[in-house]
């Protein structure tokens, strides 16, 4: 396997730093989210949105899902990141009130559903598939 788009690695890292770090910093300071797992889940979901944003904005990939397309048509490719913020943060706030194993399990599932496609899309993008 050869790297076709090395610049995509830089873009993914750069946008991740620019978007994820300030978002988590703000949420920690505002105390909207307190449990550490919430920040991982949010970071994983945001990385998925960033991978989609970079792929669509710079490499002419397309979004296949109806909701994602709605946000892209409304806001442009950055709509993928906005969509993740609008859906994941309220869910995490609701689940944080539940201090049980079921809430932890749901958060874990949400995190996996973010990081798995993020890694897949990032690798596909970098390899030019």
pTM recorded for the entire structure: 0.94
Residue 1 lies in a domain: no
Could you tell me the two tokens for 99?
Answer: 């201090």
Residue 16 lies in a domain: yes
CB 4 within 8 A of CB 122: no
Q: Tell me the residue range of the domain where 102 lies.
A: 6-127
> Could you give the CA distance from residue 75 to residue 98 in angstroms, rounded to a whole number?
33
| pLDDT one digit per residue (tens) for the chain, 129 residues | 789 999 999 999 999 999 999 999 999 999 888 899 999 999 999 999 999 999 999 999 999 999 999 999 999 999 999 999 999 999 999 999 988 999 999 999 999 999 999 999 999 999 998
Instruction: Kindly report the backbone phi and psi dihedral angles of residue 99, in degrees, each rounded to the nearest multiple of 5, phi listed first.
Output: -100, 70
Could you tell me the two tokens for 59?
Answer: 């490499």
> Could you give the CA distance from residue 129 to residue 2 in angstroms, rounded to a whole number?
11
Q: Which residues contact 89 (CB under 8 A, 6 or more apart)?
A: 27, 32, 33, 42
**Domains in the chain: how many in total?**
1
CB 123 within 8 A of CB 57: no
> Could you give the CA distance from residue 41 to residue 94 in angstroms, rounded to a whole number?
14
Residue 89 lies in a domain: yes
Residue 15 lies in a domain: yes
Site of tokens 């709509």: 79
Q: Is the dihedral of CA 63, 67, 70, 72 positive or negative?
A: negative
Residue 33 lies in a domain: yes
């Amino acid at each position: 396997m050869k790297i076709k788009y090395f610049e995509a690695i830089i873009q993914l890292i750069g946008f991740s730093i620019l978007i994820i770090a300030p978002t988590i910093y703000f949420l920690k300071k505002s105390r909207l989210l307190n449990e550490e797992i919430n920040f991982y889940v949010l970071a994983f979901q945001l990385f998925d949105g960033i991978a989609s944003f970079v792929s669509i904005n710079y490499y002419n990939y397309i979004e296949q899902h109806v909701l994602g397309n709605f946000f892209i048509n409304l806001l442009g490719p950055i709509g993928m990141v906005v969509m993740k913020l609008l859906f994941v943060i309220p869910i995490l706030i609701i689940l944080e009130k539940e201090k049980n194993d079921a809430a932890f399990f749901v958060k874990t599932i949400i995190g996996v559903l973010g990081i798995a496609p993020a890694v897949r899309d990032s690798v596909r993008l970098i390899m030019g598939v």
